[in-house]
Structure 1
Amino acid sequence: MGLLESCPLFLFTNTVLVVLLQLGSSIPHVAGSKHGGNETDQLALLTFKAEITGDPFGSMNSWNQSLHFCQWMGVTCGRRHQRVTVLNLNNRKLAGAISPHIGNMSFLRKLQLRNNSLSHEIPQEIGRLKRLQILLLRQNSFTGEIPANISGCLDLTGLDFSRNSLGGKIPQELGSLSKLKYLLIDRNNLTGSVPPTLGNLSSLIVFLAESNNISASIPDVLGGLTNLEGLGFGGNKLGGIIPLSIFNLSSLRAFNMVWNQIQGRLPSSLGNTLPNLQEFAIGRNLFTGYIPDSLSNASNLEIFCYLSELLLAGNKISGIIPSGMRKLVNLQTFELFANQFTGNIPTDLWNLQKLKIVNIAGSIPPSLRKCHRLEVLSFGANNLSGTIPQELATLSSLLYLNLSQNQLTGSVPLEVGNLNNLEALDVSENMLSGQIPSTLGNCVKLTLLYMEGNIFWGSLPSSLRYLRGFEEIDLSRNKFSGKIPDYLEDFVFLRKLNLSFNDFEGAVPERGIFKIASVVSLEGNDKLCGGIPELQLHRCNSEGLRRNRFTFPLKVTVATINLLKATDGFFSQDNLLGIGGFGSVYKGILDQGDRVVAVKVLNLQFRGASKSFIAECNALKSIRHRNLVKVLTACSSVDYNGNDFKALVYEFMVNGSLDKWLHPNENENEVSEDSRCLNLLERLNIAIDVACALDYLHHYGPEPIVHCDLKPSNILLDNELTGYVGDFGIARFLPKVAYESGNQSSSIGVKGSIGYAAPEYGMGSEVSTSGDVYSYGILLLEMFTGKRPTDHMFSDSLSLHNFAKMAFPEQVASIADSTLFHQQDNGLNHSSTSSQKIEECMISIFKAGIACSEELPRNRLAVNEVLMQLYAIKNTLLGSDRRAA
């Protein structure tokens, strides 16, 4: 379920649908004689049937000459004239088009074709149905524009075109439908602005236009719709401010403006002028100012969140949270995260007995235990410190607990076992320590467990064997040890098990989920062995090269001999993979042919080669991440002639570098056998992989590290096209104290590679994490334009950054790699992913690339910010994210 569908205004829509279905239901069904009736209606129905190409339920089997048409399924006729008044074929999975002859059924009052697979354009002839009252075409695949001549159906009271693929502008002619009560056009591809003529719809009760591409601002005339109860424009491109006249619509119950670019402040009288408000959603906009104290007068408000509901998250609202919120006794959802609030959360807020969902900033108050109905509690991505309060364990109604991305310390309290209804627990990315409490085994409904990025240690408790409903477990980047429990083999619902970068040891199980390499992540556990071959672990009885954490330097001549054997003698040219700035990389085979490796041999005659070797060893021995190329061992010795010999042994990446995939015509000898290009989703996943690696280097490693040479040739791809950042030969450590104080620099300036190096490096500036961000921005633009920053077209003042910036946003499609718009190649479910959605996501990707590669370092995004944007783009392409709280 997406963000908009999670808002109660979406539920409000269902109420509207019930009303629409009931309107006109008093029209009776009357059967006529076998040969009587009106031939015009019969012919129109038969031509309607002729356009239907799919009828899996056989709904039209009765539509034949053996029955009078008034007895056909879905057809209702009037008593007096035996003319068709209702055509109701909802939920029949019909495919095909609506015949233009529908316009001949002049007595039709109700046309209901909801939830089918009808396509093509809505016929203009519907505008001839002067008696039509209800037109329900929701959830089909109609394209084209909304017919403007529907304005001729002056008796219309309900119009529902939502969940189709309609484009164009909202016809201004709709403003003549003075009897219209419900106008539902959400979840289409509508563009343009809201026509001011809609201010004439004086009978309108609900107007929903969510999830379109409507722009400009909300016209002031909508404030004259005094009967309006529901208004929704969430998920559009609206700007400007909300007219004050809207806030004076005292009948308003549901209000949704999330995910727009609306500015301004909430009026101080909000709670007084909207006394009937139940759902209020304005999250993900640009609102500023304060929450008005008068909001506490909206006593019907049930939900206060990022809408019964108030959705304010993701704005720039500041000040304190009004203490009068305690009056909102019906409040069920309370979300205020990602704002700029100060002060403490009013303690009496926790006396609201109906509260079910909480997603806010600030400290975790012990008084939270009073919320006995609380089901969702999310304090993620704040600056929380201290320990997890034991009082949380008293919330037995809790289903989802998210404390991720904070600075919490201490252990997970034993009392967590009291949360016997808990389905998801996320304490990832904190500084928590200790062991997993054995009492967690009491949470028998637990399906999602995220504890990555902490300092947990010890073995996995045996009590977890009882939690057979697990779907995802992520314990990566901790200090867990001991053997991997065999009971994990029997977790049949598990689709993700990430135990990487810990200290597990011994043989890896080989049954159950451990037979599926795509489910299990074990990298970074140097003492593990065995398992299926796809996991690429050494054999438990092998005497060959072990996958142990290397120490620098290894001054053993036998290592040189082993490497010579592995690479077919003195590093044969047949095994040469590539030549870099300080040496050459060869393909090698170790462990009696069981392991393929890449061996980087330093050419010590090159100036800086020894220094590069030391820098790379120092970097790689202290960092661990799933998207960093893994070094297996290092060799510093002498060769047969007594000369210094230095080499690094890496995991072999079967798909080589990103460079050869982005520019196959320039690397014809290196392209993989299928010679295919990377599709949209593959490129986006690789971009996320690289951003994850940079985020770790900049923020989560033992010390902040600047890579200094990020470019496609230093991004390697495994057999599943997962991206790994490699080549740390000029990486630089930043002192922790200097980094935290904002002085992000190294004492040594580095140029990096032409086209990718930050412009300030060329002027003598010192190394900083923002320099990596610049390189990443150029990399992102290269990945989605297919053009190198050193392309001959870029000269004088024209750079890849400026090239993209000049095309943004209207001309992005014209500069993007054309292969990314071929739906059969984009890696997406193109039945549900429109080319327009793909283009919108491309615009967002280019926006991120441009923001990262700004000339001035202070104007660039931080890598964790761009990572969140890329995840959001991916979620837009694929659907909602399970953790989008």
Structure 2
Amino acid sequence: MMIRIMFFLFFASQVLVYFIPTTTFALSLSSNTDKLALLSLKEKLTNGVPNSLPSWNHSLDFCEWQGVTCGRRHKRVSVLHLENQTWGGTLAPSLGNLTFLRFLTLSNIDLHGEIPAQIGRLKRLEALDLRNNKLQGEIPKELTNCTSIKVLELLINRFTGRVPTWFESMKQLTTLVLENNNLFGTIPSSLQNISSLQMISLTENHLKGTIPYSLGKLSSLTYLTLALNNLSGEIPLSLYNLSNIQTFDIGNNKLFGSLPSNIDLVFPKLVNFLVGQNHITGTFPNSISNLTNLKIFDIGTNSFNGSIPLTLGRLNKLKLFNIENNNFGSEGARDLDFLSVLTNCSQLYKISLLNNKFGGKLSNHIGNFSANLRSFNLRANQIYGVIPESIGQRIGLTYLDIGTNSLEGSIPYSIGKLKNLVRLELQENKLSDSIPLSIGNLTILSELYLSDNKLEGSVPFSLRYCTQLLILSIAINKLSGDLPKQTFRYLDGVIYIYLSNNSLTGPIPSEFGNLKHLSHLYLHSNNLFGEIPMDLASCLTLTRLVLWGNFFHGKIPQFLGSLKSLEILDISNNNFSNTIPFELENLIFLNKLDISFNDLYGEVPIGGVFRNVTAISLIGNKNLCGGIPQLKLPRCVGDSSKTHKQSLKRKLIIISVIGGVLISFVAFITVHFLTRKSKKLPSSPSLQNRALGVTYGELHEATNGFSLSNLAGTGSFGSVFKGSLPNFERPIAVKVLNLETRGAAKSFVAECNALGKMKHRNLVKILTCCSSVDYKGEDFKAIVFEFMPEGSLENVLHNNEGSENENHSLILSKRVDIALDVAHALDYLHHDEDQVVVHCDIKPSNVLLDEDMVAHLGDFGLARLIHGSTRHSSKDQVDSSTIKGTIGYLPPEYGAGGPVTPKGDIYSYGILLLEMLTGKRPTDHIFYENLSLHKLCKMKIPEEILDIVDSSLVIPTVEDQTWMVENNIKECLVMFATIGVACSEEFPAKRMLTKHVILKLLEIKQKLSH
């Protein structure tokens, strides 16, 4: 017996000895499996890009790798969380080896390809979040093996196929988010079998058919969004059994039916209610007033009718109230009484009653609305009476629209208190008296609509202070007097001017020549007289010039033929005389020309617009002849002598031009040789004068001895230091030229001369230049600018370094603003009459941002000047072989030795826009010989635009999807991409004009502001 016991103890000890190492070995083997799986996953996720996930290396335990969390009991990966990268990789099958994984989040890392079937091995998986990638294919059925899964978020991808019926096998599923994909078919009724579901989001797919009645059985549901599909049929009554619903969004479909009168009882926890843009009928659900947690209420664009209850004041958390495009109201006196109770809703930021049947007057209660109110839209109703003076109390308003009503009286003087207004619409009313001078207080106003009223008096001179004005519409009124000359000198950003159908007198002010961005000028049906001023030749962005029904006289100016963008020219019903200038044939975009009812005579041209008989109107001019046969005008008789004279005149012109060129050439040679010695001087007089403002010693002290701690950045020709000078209140930036770099000295002169002569809000302001010697006796050259605290667009766009505020998120609206700023700068540079400036190095690092994130174009070291009068002359163009721009932004024609032109800047600007859109540099590793940033964006417009945009532009959560749709984000992204692609076309002639760029960007801005 003792022998057996001893044998047993010996055997047990041996087993124990071998058992412990074996178990440790097994655990190590399992851990090693996870490590190898992660390394394989990294290779695919990052596309093998070096330096991605640097912590994932052998020197660190894999449980300490970025985004990796291991379990406490077993050294196995339980959480993998990686997001907000631009790797552009795929999901490796090795993902299936992480069998202890419970939470997997790989959001916004630019994934493409399909979800591997091996994901079905993750039987412990509880949450899968793959949002905001480019994953495609069908949702893999292998997910049914993940029996523990509770959260499935696959939004903003490219998944196709139907919504799977096999979801019903996921009995623990609480969150199902599939919005913004390409799913089609119907919503499966089998979803009713997942009783644990709390959230369903299928918004923005291609689903059709009816909403399954069975969804009403999901009693735990708190969030249901089915918006932006093609769903039809009646809203199932069963949905009103979902008593836990907080967000209910079925907007933008084709649904019909009515809302329950006891909505407060069926949805007692309701927070967000959106059923807009359907075919729903019935009256306003009065019981909504009992839902005190309600924040968003949108039933706009349906067929509701009746009155609005006076109990809405209970909704003290209400933020958005949209009932536009319905049939509310009875055109009665009490229709607007409910507005007085809405003043109790202290968080309201938007009210839209647009296009209903509301009658009645606006009471003084309008001044008591929430201080948060930003948008107030009452347009297209039957409101009468006067605009209350109390409107001036709503100083937070940015958008006020009371147009298309029956309002009378004067525009209240208090309107001038609304200093945050960006858009004011009072058109199509019966407003009288003069436009108040206080309108000039609206200094950030960009759109002013006062047309179709009974306004009298003159155009107020105070409009000059509305320097941000883009649209001025005061047509169809009773305005009189001359157009104020000085006013239009200051409105240099205006694009549309509508002053037609008034009683204005006098000539067109020469100051209109300052309107470099002007596109539409409507002055018809007035009492204007005089000749069309030569100054309008500066308005190169004009597309529509409409002057009919005035008393203009003289010749039709030849310079109109130089306005290459003209599409409509109507100068009919005036007193123009003489012949039709043949220069009008040059207007290749002109599609309507009306010169009828004047005193014109002579030969009608046959080229350009004159070839299209339907595009021109010549009637009322009795002595015209010639033209194309379809005009049926008489032949020009006895023209042989006239033709001879014209031929002789042309010859004389040619001889004069040649003679002038020869004289100019001789003069140039003479001046060149006489002034060669002066060019050897170290600096020009202009630079010497500038240098008097600051010395080397002052700059040395201002920058702490040009210390590295003050270094703000480096460029092609030198370094930039931050500093401060006693004579300047704000910080300065000192660009110190590295004179050992070839071309640096030339860059210094070019930049000082270029910036010194230019003034524009979107150009970096040069303060002074310094050309001296340093403490070592060596040449020293520096340029002093205003310091831009937010750094360059390059830093903000890519890594947020160099900014004093590193928390700026560059949202779409801000990128549009920056794009506009740069476009305005280029438009100024390219359309100066005296000399055109071609920047030659447009890129994000040369776009600097001030404290308000306003963009300023800088670094003119490579800039080239072209004389304005000869901007299209080959003798004045610069050989681009001398240009050393930046790879990726350099236009292709420069690489082939083509001349430097403004079109080259437009190409670089287009690349800059696409970089702002995608967050990718044109030299990114994903671009190769057959794929460029331009080609990528061109391929993805419009359907796949969300596949390429910078992730920080569009990462809509389920909660803000409504906001995204309401603000036209996707449409605006397509428009932005289209501009960038059009500007960066290979052939210069196909690139957009700056004025067209500005118009399109303003259109985007307008959409985003709604």
Fold in common (TM above 0.5): yes
Q: CA separation in 1, counterparts of 2:438 and 2:306?
A: 41
CA distance in 1: counterparts of 2:236 and 2:546, whole angstroms: 67
**Is 1:223 aligned to residue 220 of structure 2?**
no
Shift of 1:313: 1.1
TM-align CA RMSD: 4.8
| 3-state secondary structure, aligned to 2:283 | coil
Match in the other structure for 2:55: 62
1:544 to 555, 578, 582: 555
Moved more, 324-333 or 75-84: 324-333
Of 173, 177, 183, the residue aligned with 2:176 is: 183
Displacement of 1:837 in angstroms is 11
Preserved contact between residue 544 and residue 590 of structure 1 (Cα < 8 Å) = no
> In the alignment, what sits opposite 1:498?
497
Separation in 1, partners of 2:256, 2:86: 42
Q: Is the 8 A contact 2:154 2:179 kept in 1?
A: yes
Q: What aligned pairs does 1:351-366 form with structure 2 within 5 A after superposition?
A: 351-354=343-346, 355-360=348-353, 361=356, 362-363=358-359, 364-366=361-363
Any residues of structure 2 matched to 1:450-529 within 5 Å, and which?
Answer: 450-452=449-451, 454=453, 456=455, 459-470=458-469, 473-475=472-474, 482-483=482-483, 494=493, 496-499=495-498, 501=500, 505-509=507-511, 514-516=515-517, 521=521, 524=524, 528-529=532-533
1:317 corresponds to 2:334: no
The whole-number CA distance in structure 2 between the counterparts of 1:384 and 1:111 is 56
Task: Write the letter of the residue equivalent to 2:942.
Answer: T
Instruction: Give the counterpart letter for 1:370 in structure 2.
Output: N
Instruction: Give me the whole-angstrom Cα distance separating, in 2, the residues matched to 1:170 and 1:155.
Output: 20
| CA positional deviation for 1:37 | 6.7
Is contact 1:545-1:590 (8 Å) kept?
A: no
Match of 2:943 among 827, 834, 839: 834
8 Å CA contact 2:155–2:180 kept in 1: the answer is yes
Q: Residues 804-854 of structure 1: CA distance to partner in whole angstroms, max 9, x if unpaired?
A: xxxxxxxxxxxxxxxxxxx9999996536217999xxxxxxxxxxxxxxxx
Asked if the contact 2:455–2:477 (Cα under 8 Å) also holds between the matched residues in 1, the reply is yes
Q: What corresponds to 1:844 in structure 2?
A: none
Cα separation, partners in 2 of 1:501 and 1:230, compared to 1, 3 Å: same
Q: Quick one: distance in 2 between partners of 1:455 and 1:123?
A: 69
In structure 1, give the amino acid aligned to 2:344: L
1 CA distance for matches of 2:48 and 2:518?
42
- Distance change (3 Å), C-alpha of 1:593 and 1:326: same
Q: 1:142 aligns with which of 135, 143, 146?
A: 135
The CA distance in 2 between the partners of 1:431 and 1:873, in whole Å, is 38
Report the counterpart of residue 439 of structure 2 in structure 1.
Answer: 440
- For residues 168-193 of structure 1, the C-alpha deviation after alignment (integer angstroms, 9 at most, x for no partner) is 21111112222222221111221111
Q: Does 1:350 align with 2:337?
A: no
Partners in 1 of 2:405 and 2:606 — Cα distance? Answer: 40
Report the Cα distance in structure 2 between the residues aligned to 1:421 and 1:595, rounded to whole angstroms.
52
CA deviation after TM superposition for structure 1 residue 635, in Å: 0.1
- The 3 A distance-change label for structure 1 pair 599 and 289 is same
Taking the aligned partners of 2:156 and 2:489, their CA distance within structure 1 comes to: 42
CA change 1:178–1:878 in 2 (3 A) is: farther
Q: Superposition pairs for residues 72-91 of structure 1, below 5 Å?
A: 72-91=65-84
Post-superposition Cα deviations, 1:494-523, rounded to whole Å, max 9, x if no partner, equal 4744346475843444777x33455x6467
> Is contact 1:411-1:432 (8 Å) kept?
yes
The secondary structure found in structure 1 opposite 2:278 is coil
Distance of aligned partners of 1:523 and 1:827 in 2 relative to their CA distance in 1, 3 Å threshold: farther
Question: In the aligned structure 1, how far is the partner of 2:301 from the partner of 2:539?
Answer: 46
Alignment of 1:251 onto 2:257? no
Report what 1:651 is aligned to.
none
Partner of 1:534: 540
- Normalising by structure 1, we get a TM-score of 0.58
Shift of 1:416: 0.4
Paired residue for 1:580?
none
Shift of 1:111: 1.3
Single out whichever of 113-122 and 283-292 deviates more from structure 2.
Answer: 113-122
Paired residue secondary structure (1:239): strand
Give 3-state SS (helix, strand or coil) of 2:342's partner. Answer: helix
Match of 1:882 in 2: 1007
CA distance, structure 2, for counterparts of residue 542 and residue 77 of structure 1: 86
Residue-by-residue CA offset, 1:625-676 (whole Å, 9 max, x unaligned): xxxx786884024879xxxx9979xxxxxxxxxxxxxxxxxxxxxxxxxxxx
Contact residue 599 and residue 647 of structure 1 kept, 8 A = no
Tell me if 1:368 matches 2:369.
no
Question: Is 2:235 the counterpart of 1:242?
Answer: yes
Mind listing any 5+ residue stretches in structure 1 that lack a counterpart?
A: 1-31, 302-307, 569-573, 578-584, 603-615, 617-628, 649-822, 839-870
Residues 143, 453 of structure 1: alpha-carbon distance in 2 compared, 3 angstrom cutoff: farther
How many Å apart are 1:282 and its aligned residue? Answer: 0.7
Query: Can you list the C-alpha shifts for 1:736-787, whole angstroms capped at 9, x where unaligned?
Result: xxxxxxxxxxxxxxxxxxxxxxxxxxxxxxxxxxxxxxxxxxxxxxxxxxxx
AA at the equivalent of 2:579: N
CA distance in 1, matches of 2:934, 2:29: 56
Change over 3 Å in CA distance of 1:883–1:160 after alignment to 2: closer
Select the residue among 299, 305, 315 that pairs with 1:328.
315
Q: Indicate conservation of the 8 Å contact 1:548/1:632, yes or no.
A: no
**CA pair 37-456 structure 1, distance change in 2 beyond 3 A:** farther
**Contact 2:281/2:302 (CA < 8 Å) preserved in 1?**
yes
SS at match of 1:51: helix
Q: Contact 1:404/1:426 (CA < 8 Å) preserved in 2?
A: yes
Q: Per the alignment, in what secondary structure is the counterpart of residue 262 of structure 1?
A: strand
Q: Spell out, residue by residue over 1:474-504, the C-alpha distance to the aligned partner (whole angstroms, 9 max, x if none).
A: 5566676644655656668x47443464758
TM-score normalized with structure 2 length: 0.51
Report the structure number with the largest CA radius of gyration.
2
CA–CA separation in structure 2 for the residues paired with 1:92 and 1:598: 53
CA distance in 2, matches of 1:883, 1:81: 51
Percent identical among aligned pairs is 30
Closer, same or farther in 2 for the Cα pair 1:824/1:454, shift >3 Å?
farther
Give the secondary structure class of the aligned counterpart of 1:440: helix
- In structure 2, how many angstroms separate the alpha carbons of the residues matched to 1:182 and 1:472? 47
Given that 1:52 and 1:95 are in contact with CA atoms closer than 8 Å, whether structure 2 keeps it comes out as yes
Q: Cα gap change, 1:545/1:497 in structure 2, threshold over 3 Å: closer, same or farther?
A: closer
3-state SS of 2:131 partner? coil
Does 2:354 align with 1:337? no
Return closer, same or farther for 1:533/1:320 CA change in 2, 3 Å cut-off. Answer: closer
CA distance in 2, matches of 1:168, 1:534: 52
Letter in 1 for 2:227: G
Aligned in 2, Cα 1:327/1:535: closer, same or farther, shift over 3 Å? closer
Q: How does 1:706-745 map to 2 (within 5 A)?
A: none
Aligned pairs for 1:771-786 within 5 A: none
1:634–1:83 distance in 2 versus 1, CA, 3 Å? farther
In the aligned structure 2, how far is the partner of 1:81 from the partner of 1:827?
Answer: 45
| Cα gap change, 1:452 to 1:826, in 2 (>3 Å) | farther
SS of the residue 1:310 aligns to: strand
Structure 1 294/506 Cα, relative in aligned 2: closer, same or farther at 3 Å?
closer
Distance 1:825 1:56 in 2: 22
Change (3 A) 1:836 1:495: same
Task: Quote the offset at 1:350 in angstroms.
Answer: 3.4
SS of 1:207's partner is strand
Number of the residue aligned with 1:380 = 379
Which amino acid in 1 is paired with 2:943?
Answer: S
- Residues 415 and 144 of structure 1: CA distance in aligned 2, closer, same or farther (over 3 Å): same
